[in-house]
Amino acid sequence: MTDLYRVLPEEVDKLVTSMEQPRYRADQLLHMLYNEFPKDISSMRQLPAEMRNALSTAGYTIGSADEVHRVVSEDGQTTKLLLKLGDGTLIETVLMQYRKNKGRPRSTVCVSTQVGCQMGCTFCATGQMGFERNLKAEEIVAQVLHFASVLRERGEHVTNLVFMGMGEPLANYTETIRAVKLLTNARAFGLGQRHITISTVGVMKEIDRLADEDLQIGLAISLHAPNDELRRKLVPTAGPHSVGDLISATRSYFKKTGRRVTLEYALINGVNDSPEIAAELATLLKGNGAHVNLIPVNPTAGGFQRPRWKRITEFERILRESDVNCTVRVEKGSEISAACGQLRTDTAKNL
C-alpha cells in the first residue's frame, strides 16, 4: 500500500502516464490532495471512476491524521492536537498564531518527525519518553494538512512550518526531506522554502548533507552550553567535541547556503544561566554571525526551572555587549504543554 501523500509530483506524472490517463489528470489529482483534503480515493469525484478504481487496485491509499484531543491556550493563539495515525500511533503537533493589527495572522505549524526521541535531552519531555519509531513523510505531511483544513474553516492558511516537534528531524533525514519537498513543491502544498525551519540537536553528518540539498530553508541548532562538559550533561548523546563541531557547522552551512543559522539556547535556572557562562558563550560566538535564540526552559517532568526575568535579561545583555546577535524567545502555549520541549504522548492514556 502506498499513501498518495508520499508521492512527489514528478512521480504522480509517471503514475498517471502509466495508467494511460491524460497528463492534466496529474494536476487534478494533486490539486484535490492539497486543496480539498479528501479522506479516501473514492471521494475524489473529479477523477473518472476508471482512474479511481485503478489507483485503488494498484494499492494506493489516502492517509490522514485523526484528531483525538484538542487543547487551546487561554489567548486562543496556540492549539495543540493529539493525532492518531493509520496504525494507531499517537503524536502531538502544534499551531502557533501571531496576530497582526490588520490582515490574517502568521500561522506556524510545529510538526513532529518521530514518535519520541533518541537524543535524551534531560530538560525535554519528548527526550525523556524514549523512542518508538520514525514517522514517514506522509505522516509528517498529514500533520500540516490537518491544520490547513482547520485554518481554512477560518479563512486562514498555514504560513510557516517548523520541524521542532517530537523527535530529531535529522535522525529521520530521508523522510524529513521528502516531506519538505512535498510541502514546498508548487504543484503540491506550495509553501515557500524560506518559511520553513528545521531544528536539530546536532547530527553532524546530516547537517553537512542538508547544506548540499540546495534548499532555502532555515536551520536551527540546539547548543544549550558553551563547553563540552556542560553540554554533555544536558545532551547525553553529544560527542566529546560537539560544541566546536557545531560552531564549525554553522559557518559551513552559511558558506554553502547563504542562510544564517540560529543557535537555540535553553536557559535553565542554576545550570547554564550564570553571568560567567554568558561571558564564556559570548567569547565562543563573537564574530560567528549566528543568531542566538534564548529560550527560558519550559516546565517538564525533569523538574528544571526557568531563571528569573532579571537573570534572563542579564544573560542577554552580556551577549549583546559582545556583539552577539540574540533575542529572548516569546514562548506560546506553555500553559497547555505545547511549548518547546513539552510535547509528549505517553500520558495520552490519562485523557
CATH assignment at residue 263: 3.20.20.70
pLDDT of residue 337: 46
Considering the domain architecture, whether residues 160 and 234 belong to the same structural domain is answered as yes
| pLDDT tens figures, 42-63 | 999 999 999 999 999 999 999 9
Instruction: Based on the fold, state whether residues 266 and 130 are members of the same structural domain.
Output: yes
Q: What percent of the chain has pLDDT over 90?
A: 81
**Active-site hit among 74, 92, 117, 168:** 92
Distances (CA, A) of 213 to 81, 179, 183, 199, 240: 31, 13, 15, 16, 27
- In angstroms, rounded to a whole number, what is the distance separating the alpha carbons of residues 137 and 117? 17
204-221 confidence digits (pLDDT tens): 999 999 999 999 999 999
What is the pLDDT at residue 339? 45
Residues 25 and 149 in one domain: no
Total residues belonging to the chain: 351
Tens digit of pLDDT for each residue in 284-336? 999 888 999 999 987 764 678 899 999 999 999 999 999 999 999 876 545 44
Q: Are residues 35 and 81 in the same domain?
A: no
- Between CA 298 and CA 199 the distance in angstroms is 17
Percentage of the chain modeled with pLDDT above 70: 93
pLDDT at position 75 is 87
Cell of 276: 560567567
What is d(CA 263, CA 224) in angstroms, rounded to the nearest whole number? 8
The single residue of 110, 124, 326, 340 carrying the catalytic annotation is 340
pLDDT at position 329 is 80
Max CA pair span of the chain? 70
Do residues 308 and 322 both lie within one domain? yes
Residue 28's CATH number: 1.10.150.530
Q: Is the pLDDT of residue 245 over 80?
A: yes
Query: Average of pLDDT values for 217-226?
Result: 96
- Nearest Cα to Cα of residue 106 among 78, 70, 71: 78
Please tell me the predicted confidence (pLDDT) of residue 320.
96
pLDDT band of 345, cuts 50, 70, 90: low
- 2: helix, strand or coil: strand
The pLDDT of 8-30, averaged and rounded, is 97
42 and 186, same structural domain?
A: no
Q: Which DSSP helix (H) or strand (E) runs through 61?
A: strand 60-61
pLDDT at 348 over 60: no
Residues 175 and 279 in one domain: yes
C-alpha cell at 160: 510557516
Q: Does pLDDT of 350 surpass 60?
A: no
277 and 235 co-located in one domain: yes
- With a CB cutoff of 8 Å and minimum separation 6, the contacts of 347 are none
- Confirm whether 121 is a catalytic residue: no
Are 241 and 311 members of one domain? yes
Residue 191's domain comprises: 66-350
Asked about 340 being catalytic, the answer comes back as yes
- Give the model's pLDDT for residue 336: 47
Residues 27 and 141 in one domain: no
Spatial neighbors of 266 by CB under 8 A, at least 6 apart, are: 123, 222, 224, 234, 272, 295, 296, 297, 340, 341
Residues 250, 279 within the same domain:
yes
Total domains in the fold of the chain: 2
Does residue 338 surpass a pLDDT of 80? no
Give the mean pLDDT of the chain: 91
